[in-house]
Structure 1
């Protein structure tokens, strides 16, 4: 599955005028292999450096920024003072939501957009077109409660 995603992303980068360099491939591989982990650039660097020891942290930052600008990865703010990244899913009309444990810091993804009806009401009542939203719930996971 990761190979298919890499090939799709390779084509996407090519369409946008970029090459999938070995460093970019290594970074994308780690993002795909750690899907759902919400990695920081530093965590991503540590993972990539194992298989690509010549890579620099600046390369990871530049690549993540490029991938974010292209809509390949999404930047997340989970209120811990660090930017985190995850693979964007092109079939999602909105970002998914997150449950954040106040005890251990675990982040759980909530799939599916449960706010469709609320969005419709807001759009009609306020004559406002919603393009996206983020939602974070804070509480305790099953291990901490």
Structure 2
């Protein structure tokens, strides 16, 4: 984690910002809960647990700055609120998501399946893609299995 914080600190310094204790606390919460896609309030509650004097507005400002600098990505999974996701060091683009419309589970796809499409877009349209994100909405494996089981039980009863 220290290596990741150091890298982000360098990114901030290169853009004229400092890694304040509040920003670092916010980043640490995001790093510790990377798979959870936290919203601002959830980040705030976790930061406040460790730093009781921090305010909600400070966490919001930290998240907005980190989003503007593309250190974190502000995303919306269709649940009415913005969530925050760290950008991967090893990939030039944001990773993709599978979002279950039944249970709300979010799975990440780390592979960049859109690179061939980007090259085609550049070739055919002269458009150089700088970033992309793809979210798939549907029903996850577990919810599909539950639905199938319900269907089997309903048929057995009839």
Give the structure, 1 or 2, with the largest relative contact order (CA under 8 Å, sep 6 or more): 1
Equivalent residue, structure 1, for 2:7: 8
What TM-score, normalized to structure 2?
Answer: 0.82
Counterparts in 2 of 1:14-29, with a 5 A limit? 14-29=13-28
What residue in structure 2 maps to residue 59 of structure 1?
A: 58
How far the C-alpha of 1:23 sits from its partner, in A, is 1.5
Q: State the TM-score, normalizing by the size of structure 1.
A: 0.89
User: Cα deviations across residues 35-61 of structure 1 (Å, max 9, x unaligned)?
Assistant: 122111111001111011111110011
Structure 2 stretches lacking a partner, 5+ long: 145-158
1:80 is matched with which residue?
79
Shift of 1:14: 2.9
RMSD: 1.6
Match of 2:92 in 1: 93
Instruction: Looking at secondary structure, tell me which structure has more helix per residue.
Output: 2
1:92-115 CA distances to partner (integer Å, 9 max, x unpaired)? 222111100011001101011112
Gap runs ≥5 in structure 1: none
User: How many Å apart are 1:87 and its aligned residue?
Assistant: 1.1
Cα separation, 2, equivalents of 1:28 and 1:76:
16
In the alignment, which residue of structure 2 is the partner of 1:50?
A: 49
- Residues 10-35 of structure 1 show CA distances to partners (whole Å, capped at 9, x for unaligned) of 23323333222221111110011111
Which structure has the bigger radius of gyration?
A: 2
